[in-house]
Amino acid sequence: MTRFLSTILILACVSVVAADPCKSGPQPNQRPGPYSSLVCVGKERGQQHCYICESAARPVVIVFARSLSDPLGKLVKKLDGAIQEHKTAELRSWVTFLAEDQTAMDPKVVQWAQKHAISGVPCAVFEDKVGPPTYLIAHDADVTVLLSVKHKVVANFAFRAGELDDAAIADIVKAIPRIVNVK
């Protein structure tokens, strides 16, 4: 009986831990630091580029991802639309894939972007699964989304594999006015 109760207690603790929201990357009021990644999709294709440096104080949506999923494609397609919608605010967005081998990842990113008809959001690869050191991307985070303006993170969304869904995508898109309507 004691062994049975111990097993139940362990399972209960594991499910509580698994239900905790994923926490990854710079948190609100922290500054996203510069980093370079090799561009796979976008006008800088084939070049190391720092989108943080280029964006300056403009509103930005930064996406870090470890996998090429359909929900991520849906999110990035929505960001494509948001860039057009908030053109006067000069909204910027890009996706940085975290991978050990950029050369192997590049054709997969290109094919994924074509599949999802992504045109206005550049996609790049940072050649390290851990991500840029100052960003502290959680190991269990499959997707981390940062909304920032004037060099400060305003909102942070992080998802383990399988957690990014339509409701989460809607929450991210609903948060964009918080960075584009800042004077």
pLDDT in tens, 139-149: 999 999 999 99
Give the span between the Cα atoms of 39 and 142, in whole angstroms: 20
Looking at 2-101, list the stretches that DSSP marks H as alpha helix, in order from N- to C-terminal side: 2-19, 51-55, 70-85
For every residue of 76-136, DSSP letters joined together read HHHHHHHHHHTGGGT-EEEEEEE-S-HHHHHHHHHHHHHHTT--SS-EEEES-TT--GGG-
Is residue 60 over pLDDT 60? yes
Burial class (CB in 10 A: 0-12, 13-18, 19+), 44: middle
Contact present, 20 and 141 (Cβ < 8 Å): no
pLDDT of residue 130: 95
If you average pLDDT over residues 15-41, what whole number do you get? Answer: 87
pLDDT of residue 36: 96
pLDDT in tens, 89-136: 999 999 999 999 999 999 999 999 999 999 899 999 999 999 999 999
Res. 181 pLDDT band, cuts 50 70 90: confident
Give the span between the Cα atoms of 50 and 55, in whole angstroms: 9
Give the span between the Cα atoms of 6 and 39, in whole angstroms: 51
